[in-house]
Amino acid sequence: MPKIGRFTSDEAKTNFLRIYDAGAERWPIPSTVLDVETSFGTTHVRKSGSGKGAPVLLLPGISGNGLVWQRFIEDFASERVVYTPDVIGWPGRCVQTAPVRDGADVAKWVVETLDGLGESRVHLAGNSLGAWMATMVGVYHSDRLASLTMFEPGGATFAKPKWSLLLKFLATGMRPTPERMRKLNAWLTPRADLTEDEFAMVMASLKFRTGMPWDRVLTDEELAAITAPTLVLFGADTVVNNPEIGAARARQHIPSADVQIYPGIGHDLLWANQEVVIPRFLDFADNHDRVRN
């Protein structure tokens, strides 16, 4: 049954927001914070950068928030406006008031956030589970996208998730001690070395009960409905998905898919190859930007 995201206690909420606000103070470039009303509640959004092209909107991976992009924002926002929202129903500064029931609702939430920001079209990109959420917008509202990018899409985007992935999450979730969480992070994203502050936010997020649906495998018809220019980037050594299956389905069914698999890199694609992946994305955005072309 769909639920409203919530912390397990007032103490847990206070602790998380203390860590969150301390992290927000370390945002490396000038930014503006906006709170946008949607039919699902209030979405908390940070706006950074400037430029004439269509803006970028970035969605984080599982249970993340807009501060995840802190270490990458200077590159993403070098020539464009970049929006980094928290995800409604996940731990952050959004305030959820209505359930997000399925992929169509995910897309509706993103589009209503764009409406509140006054943006008709954006270059939408998501990492991991955020890539699946971004893809939902492509399925239902490609007309709102200048382009769609998936960074290492989540395990259920193109095929059923691996049992090894599910078992790892289940085993860690039963008793999520700091040691177990560090081992899980090292397995998932071995070169994403979290700072102590980032890890503290991960641990604080564990005391939040999500109100966002889990990803599910997209059908051939859903993939074919994505008419926006689409970039899909995989790490060949990922433990999350099968990049060969994902690449084949994207190329076969998404009309304008540009797919690349990076050898020697896993689910930590952005962390391990930032100097290559972000320029690849920005070049793709430039090539599909109606404002500039």
Which token pair is 179? 């040691």
Q: pLDDT tens-digit profile of 251-293?
A: 999 999 999 999 999 999 999 999 999 999 999 999 998 644 4
Confirm if 100 and 211 have CB atoms less than 8 A apart: yes
Confidence bin at 165 (pLDDT 50/70/90):
confident
Contacts of the segment 205-208: beta carbons below 8 A, 24+ positions apart:
205/16, 205/63, 205/90, 205/91, 206/176, 206/181, 207/7, 207/8, 207/9, 207/12, 207/15, 207/16, 208/5, 208/6, 208/7, 208/8, 208/12, 208/16, 208/63, 208/90, 208/91
Q: pLDDT tens-digit profile of 56-71?
A: 999 999 999 999 999 9
Q: pLDDT tens-digit profile of 85-121?
A: 999 999 999 999 999 999 999 999 999 999 999 999 9
- Of the two residues 172 and 24, the one the predictor is more confident about is 24
What's the pLDDT at 99? Answer: 96
> In the predicted model, what is the mean pLDDT of residues 185-189?
87
Residues forming a β-bridge with 148: 124, 230
What's the pLDDT at 292? Answer: 43
Choose which CATH entry (3.40.50.1820, 3.40.50.460, 3.40.50.1470, 3.40.50.1110) describes domain 6-287.
3.40.50.1820
Q: What percent of the chain has pLDDT over 90?
A: 82
Residue 230's Cβ-side half-sphere holds a number of Cα atoms within 13 Å equal to: 30
- Of the two residues 289 and 229, the one the predictor is more confident about is 229
Confidence bin at 1 (pLDDT 50/70/90):
low
Domain boundaries, the chain: 6-287
Q: What percent of the chain has pLDDT over 70?
A: 97
